[in-house]
Amino acid sequence: MSRAARLEALREAGFLSEEDAALLSRDAPLLEDGTAEAMIENVVARFELPLGIGLNFVINGRDRVVPMAVEEPSIVAAVSHAANIVRQAGGFEAGADRSVMTAQIQVVGSPDPVVARERILAARQELLAQADALEPGMVRRGGGATDLEVRHLRPRGSASRYEEMLVVHVYVDTCDAMGANLINTVAEGLAERVEKLSGGRVFLRILSNLNDRRRVRASCRVPAHLLAWHGFPGDEVARAIERASVFAEQDPYRAATHNKGIMNGIDAVAIATGQDWRAIEAGAHAFAASDGTYGPLARWTLLPDGCLEGVLDMPMAVGTVGGPIRLHPVVQAMHRMLDVRGAADLACVLGSVGLAQNLAAIKALGTTGIQKGHMALHARSVAATAGALGDEVELVAAELIAAGQIKVAVATERLRALREARQPRAVGDGSA
């Protein structure tokens, strides 16, 4: 389909309103100068990424089309392929924790850290009430401070030259907000009282991006026969996927790339929906190493009944209010297209996309290899890099794929030959 036809198909299916379809079809910049100036400092231009649509998702029984802003070829195609397999098996199941974020308050120099810890814990209810008073709107929306704990950190290793410290954790339910600014307000607002209780001095007062109390879990079960492709039987593909998962469980070098594949999908959706994708990345990788060894965020198991089961478990701090969601017109349109019903719903979408992206990657890795499909889709980008325009892109890309040479130098030569063949020959040039 052409871009216009794709937008019309989404509109006809009810995923886009007429207004949003018209917005996305504009050739003019979708982010106005004034809006860009209001978002960050020292604006000199607007940087654009392709915005694609991941198809075939069924998440908790609902059909979803998923916006993905990303520069890498094959990500959108791969996730749509995997989602279609899972769709035939009933779709993804996903659930998210309450939106509990962590405020950290660092205390050093307490005369007796053990006594200071006890005094802070004894004042738990007072401090939680003070936290709620700092953000009364959050309490009215059903959120607010939920708990408090105090960690005693003793110097070890290379940090032995430093004094021991206390770290106060205040846990706050931020409802449908990602909540970074709210958490930082709480941390700073409680600092003076914590300092008096501890007898020490407060230094850092800020959120933690290791949001292990705000996690998403997504899962799917796929009968092995649905995994058959390119001459590989389904049960063989399922075993290959399980072996890839075990590899990631046993080797941090593999786990890093395993998780990068998951984040290919999650980051693309996070950018398209106006999330702090750097915070999501930080939390994901910290959680992957939280038991002392870096491991996979998603695991796959071939069950005795012949089904392949995938489970993803990771932190997911996302929001449906505040930040660029209030300002960016495309982000707003993408939330409407997803029909997002709160932060937990959005977290379930991102978790399911991450699991689908992982399935697509290790399915290819365990069978045909990653490059066959990736490079075929990359051929269009290579053709465009060589200077192909309009229909030249597809024609040159097809020749690159047929030749098995997805290289700019080859594309440049094929483009030159194509243009020479299309030039009309002058009368008398001997061609008669």
Residues marked active site are found at 72, 260, 276, 374
Residue 181: partners with Cβ closer than 8 Å, 6 or more residues away: 322
CB atoms within 10 A of CB 248: 27
| CA distance linking residue 388 with residue 419, whole number of Å | 10
| Torsion of Cα atoms, 322 then 72 then 211 then 41, to 10° | -40
Joined together, the tokens standing for residue 73 give 């070829």
| CA distance linking residue 213 with residue 392, whole number of Å | 52
Element (H, E) at 126: helix 124-134
SS3 string of 13-65?
A: CCCCCHHHHHHHHCCCCCCCHHHHHHHCCCCCCCCCCCEEEEEEEEECCEEEE
Residue 144: partners with Cβ closer than 8 Å, 6 or more residues away: 131, 132, 135, 138, 172, 173
